[in-house]
Amino acid sequence: MIGQYIPGHSPLHQMDPRAKLLFVFAYMFAVFLANNPATYGLLVLFTGIGIYFSRISLSVFYRSMKPVFILILLTSLLHLWMTRGGEALFSFSFLTIYEEGVRQAIYISIRFFLLMAAASLLTFTTSPIDLTDGMESLLKPFERLGVPAHELALMMSIALRFIPTLWEETEKIKKAQMARGADFESGHVFKRVKSYIPVLIPLFISAFRRAEDLALAMESRCYRGGKGRTKWRELHYSHLDVVLLLLFVILLTALWLLRK
Amino acid sequence: MIQVKGVWFHYQPEEAPRKDWALQDINLTIMPGEYVSVIGPNGSGKSTLSRLLNGLLLPVEGEVRVGGRLTANTQDLWYIRQQVGLVFQNPDNQIVAPTVQDDVAFGLENLGVSREEMKERIRDALEAVGLAGMEQREPHHLSGGQKQRLAIAGILAMQPKVIVFDEATSMLDPQGRKDVLGIIRQLNEKGTTVIHITHSANEAFLAKRVIVMAEGRIQLDLPADELYPIALILEKWGLDVPLAVRLHHRLLGHGWHLRERITSLEDLVTDLWRFLSKD
């Protein structure tokens, strides 16, 4: 997802992953309640406070959001150009910018920023293992409906475990192919992408072999699905999560009152 | 503890003639507390045998019993796998979880052990393999030897009676190998039955009983100190012979007056001292 986990001890870090996940999910809907300067202002303020309490430096935050800003810029330009309505503010040959276009561009940019900021805060302050646990726990009630909560969580956890291993292996294969004269740097994009095929094929073969080995090792350690399994990791709600809930209720009420 | 009776095995039994089967008429009894090594060249069937011991594979003919229970009985399978732990060759491919303590917990979660007890078992297991204090580490930050010790801890926490090491040292550097072999010895001294599968003669002779496998059959099954003096026979199956045995043989050939039989490297060394001090 967005942004990499930054270990820390801020209030946001200490919140329960389930609380944070639920909050971000609800927040994404709340953002769409905003429809005037007051409500957007309130949301920006709220997110700003969130960033402050995450104890993540603004420069780090800015850097990880950079690609998002480019996207925001592009969409707002599109809005300026395409949206019609209200008074024409500016006109130059085929390009006319309307009042509504400016408003939409600003609102959409803010909305986009708010959504990405909330998602980034979640991944910045929650370790992937905690996120996995949180998701498993939240999905557990839906197991009866056929949602494979345990399996999904285990898949994510194994993926987390093996990403660094496979990454190391990629580097190794790359070096081995380079030693045999492979060239990954020159040529146009298409050629460069193609030059990775001799890396990917051995990588895939080895990944399948690893998967087979791992399955044997898991079976040897009595793995037989989620049934009858106890859990080593436990999640605990704390007073911080109650604070988060209260804040969200207040935010929602304020949004409701301020929107036109 | 483990009884293997008249076992024949092949992955595709219909397609191969019986003389090509991976395992042919294997008979074997392993007593509680034994330290056995199985040695054999590649393709001798020794790894296949290890997978039969905890029911990962089932014999095509014959039977395997663990603590009296048949591996072919599905309802006993989980008991058997708890009793017989398997440590594999590649340390990377048997670690499931993203941190050290989560990985040790994996087997315990599967067994349904309570969280309170898990805490104790994880601590004890990590201590036994010398990884205490690394609970939060991520596996890819461990060395090969440490990863293999983690794999052992994961098995150990399940409190098995038998641990089978399937070429568990072959991918390690010398230091890692030494550490793992040390742990194997300690485990056996504390009463765990150990079956060490290897293609290194030096490692095989650390055990008290050595089984030589080749072409799917058990060729020899002897106490280590009986096999040692005649270890030159291992060359017959393309296995390496301990240096001391080869040296002893050559010295005898050169007319040195040494004992006819040596049972360990130390034997040869004392003999040489005696021989040389006579001059």
CB contact at 8 A, B123 and B132 = yes
B112 vs A contacts (CB less than 8 Å): 228-230
Q: Which CATH number describes the domain made up of B2-224?
A: 3.40.50.300
- Report d(CA A13, CA A10) in Å as an integer: 5
Closest CA to B48 of B78, B81, B76, B10: B10
Closest CA to B67 of B79, B52, B49: B79
Q: What is residue A62's three-state secondary structure?
A: helix
Residue A84 has pLDDT above 80, yes or no: no
Q: What value does the mean pLDDT take over residues A115-135?
A: 91
Tokens at residue A64, please?
A: 């990880």
pLDDT score at A188 = 84
B3-36 pLDDT, tens per residue?
999 999 999 888 888 888 999 999 999 999 999 9
Give the DSSP H or E segment for B32. none
Tokens at residue A217, please?
A: 């090792």
Whether B107 contacts chain A with CB within 8 A:
yes
Residue A2's pLDDT band (boundaries 50, 70, 90)?
low
By CA distance, what is A223's nearest residue in B?
Answer: B110
- Report d(CA B8, CA B19) in Å as an integer: 10
Tokens at residue B138, please?
A: 């991520």
Residue A1 has pLDDT above 50, yes or no: no
Tokens at residue B256, please?
A: 């040195």
Residue B249 has pLDDT above 90, yes or no: no
Disruptive mutation site among A5, A126, A132, A161 for chain B (greatest number of B CBs within 10 Å): A161
CB contact at 8 A, B135 and B98 = no
A200 DSSP β-pair partners: none
- Report d(CA B23, CA B64) in Å as an integer: 13
Interchain contact, B140 vs A168, CB within 8 Å: yes
Q: At what angle do helices B174-189 and B144-156 cross, to 10 degrees?
A: 20
Q: What value does the mean pLDDT take over residues A131-145?
A: 91
Interface of A to B at Cβ within 8 Å reads 128-129, 157-158, 160-161, 164-165, 168, 209-210, 213-214, 216-224, 228-234
* Three-state secondary structure string covering B126-164: HHHCCCCCCCCCCHHHCCHHHHHHHHHHHHHCCCCCEEE
Q: What is residue B86's three-state secondary structure?
A: strand
Residue B39 has pLDDT above 70, yes or no: yes
A162-201 pLDDT, tens per residue?
998 999 999 999 999 999 988 888 888 888 888 889 999 9
Closest CA to B212 of B58, B11, B26: B26
Tokens at residue A94, please?
A: 């085929």
B123 vs A contacts (CB less than 8 Å): none
Interchain contact, A220 vs B85, CB within 8 Å: yes
Disruptive mutation site among B109, B116, B121, B171 for chain A (greatest number of A CBs within 10 Å): B109
Minimal Cα–Cα distance from B19 to chain A, Å?
27
Residue B123's pLDDT band (boundaries 50, 70, 90)?
very high
Residue A3 has pLDDT above 80, yes or no: no
B86 DSSP β-pair partners: B164
A196-253 pLDDT, tens per residue?
899 999 999 999 999 999 999 999 999 988 888 888 888 889 999 999 999 999 999 9
- Report d(CA B269, CA B52) in Å as an integer: 40
Interchain contact, A224 vs B110, CB within 8 Å: yes
Q: What is the DSSP letter of A111?
A: H
A223 vs B contacts (CB less than 8 Å): 106, 110
Interchain contact, B93 vs A213, CB within 8 Å: yes
Interchain contact, B51 vs A216, CB within 8 Å: yes
Closest CA to B115 of B104, B105, B124: B105
Return the percentage of chain B with pLDDT > 70, whole number.
99
Residue A94's pLDDT band (boundaries 50, 70, 90)?
confident
pLDDT score at A80 = 83
Minimal Cα–Cα distance from B94 to chain A, Å?
5
What mean pLDDT is reported for chain A? 89
Closest Cβ–Cβ partner in B98, B138, B154 for A221: B154
Looking at residue B279, its amino acid is D
Minimal Cα–Cα distance from B211 to chain A, Å?
23
Helices (H), chain B: 46-53, 77-83, 100-111, 115-128, 144-156, 174-189, 201-204, 224-227, 243-253, 265-278
Whether B142 contacts chain A with CB within 8 A:
no
Helices (H), chain A: 11-14, 17-30, 37-54, 58-82, 99-125, 128-139, 149-179, 189-194, 197-220, 239-258
B144 vs A contacts (CB less than 8 Å): none
Interchain contact, A222 vs B110, CB within 8 Å: yes
B37 DSSP β-pair partners: B196, B210
Interchain contact, B81 vs A232, CB within 8 Å: no
pLDDT score at B271 = 83
Minimal Cα–Cα distance from A126 to chain B, Å?
15
pLDDT score at A64 = 83
- Report d(CA B51, CA B40) in Å as an integer: 16
Tokens at residue B25, please?
A: 């008429």
What mean pLDDT is reported for chain B? 90
Interchain contact, B92 vs A210, CB within 8 Å: yes
pLDDT score at A104 = 86
Q: What value does the mean pLDDT take over residues A12-20?
A: 93
- Report d(CA A110, CA A79) in Å as an integer: 13
CB burial of A7-23 (b: ≥16 within 10 Å; e: otherwise) equals: eeeeebbebbbbbbbbb
B55-106 pLDDT, tens per residue?
999 999 999 999 999 999 989 999 999 999 999 999 999 999 999 999 999 9
Q: What value does the mean pLDDT take over residues B116-136?
A: 93
Contacts across the A-B interface (CB distance below 8 Å): 93
Tell me the domain boundaries of chain B: 2-224
Interchain contact, A221 vs B97, CB within 8 Å: no
B107 vs A contacts (CB less than 8 Å): 221-222
Q: Do β-strands B23-30 and B2-9 pair in parallel, antiparallel, or remain unpaired? A: antiparallel
Q: What is the dihedral of CA B256, B258, B261, B262, to 10 degrees?
A: -110
A37-57 pLDDT, tens per residue?
899 999 999 999 999 999 888
Q: Do β-strands B23-30 and B193-198 pair in parallel, antiparallel, or remain unpaired? A: unpaired
By CA distance, what is A213's nearest residue in B?
Answer: B93
By CA distance, what is B77's nearest residue in A?
Answer: A222
Minimal Cα–Cα distance from B105 to chain A, Å?
6
Give the DSSP H or E segment for B240. none
pLDDT score at B279 = 60
Residue B163's pLDDT band (boundaries 50, 70, 90)?
very high
By CA distance, what is B156's nearest residue in A?
Answer: A221
Minimal Cα–Cα distance from A30 to chain B, Å?
34
Interchain contact, A221 vs B95, CB within 8 Å: no
Whether B99 contacts chain A with CB within 8 A:
yes
Work out the end-to-end distance of chain A between its first and last CA atoms, rounded to an integer number of angstroms: 34
Least confident of A218-222, B43-47, B100-104, B162-166: B43-47
Disruptive mutation site among A229, A232, A233, A235 for chain B (greatest number of B CBs within 10 Å): A232
Interchain contact, B86 vs A217, CB within 8 Å: yes
